[in-house]
Amino acid sequence: MSNDPWGQDVLVDFEDGIAWVQLNRPDKRNAMSVGLAREMSATLDALEVDDRCGVIVLTGVGEAFSAGMDLKDFFRATDGVSDVERMRAYRSTRYWQWRGLIHYAKPTIAMVNGWCFGGAFTPLICCDLAIADEGATFGLSEINWGVIPGGVVSKAISTVMGDRKAMYYVMTGEKFDGRKAEEMGLINEAVPADQLRARTTELAKILLGKNPTVLRQARMAYKYARYMDWEQAAEYLTAKADQTTFVDPEKGREHGLKQFLDDKTYRPGHGSYVR
Size of the site for ligand ACO (CB under 6 A): 15
- 94 CB contacts (<8 Å, ≥6 apart)? 152
Closer Cβ to ligand ACO, 55 or 120, answer by number: 120
Asked if 68 touches ligand ACO (CB under 6 A), the answer is yes
- Contact with ligand ACO (CB under 6 A) among 20, 98, 117, 169: 117
Nearest Cα residue to 189 out of 98, 80, 86, 112? 112
One-letter amino acid identity for 260?
Answer: F
157 is an interface residue for ligand ACO by CB under 6 A: no
If binding is defined by CB under 6 A, does position 5 make contact with ligand ACO? no
DSSP β-ladder status, 108-112 and 129-133: parallel
Please select the residue that binds ligand ACO; options are 36, 142, 252, 273, rule is CB under 6 A: 142
> Does 115 contact ligand ACO by CB under 6 A?
yes
Is residue 58 within 8 A of residue 19, CB to CB? The reply is no
Per DSSP, the residues of 217-235 read HHHHHHHHHTTS-HHHHHH
User: Closest separation between CB of residue 167 and ligand ACO, Å?
Assistant: 17
Least Å distance between CB 157 and ligand ACO? 13
Separation between Cα atoms, residue 158 and residue 60, nearest integer Å:
24
CB 94 within 8 A of CB 102: no
Contact between 72 and ligand ACO per CB under 6 A? yes
Residues 18-37 that bind ligand ACO (CB under 6 A): 28-29, 31
User: Which residues here bind ligand ACO, judged by CB under 6 A?
Assistant: 28-29, 31, 67-72, 115, 117-119, 141-142
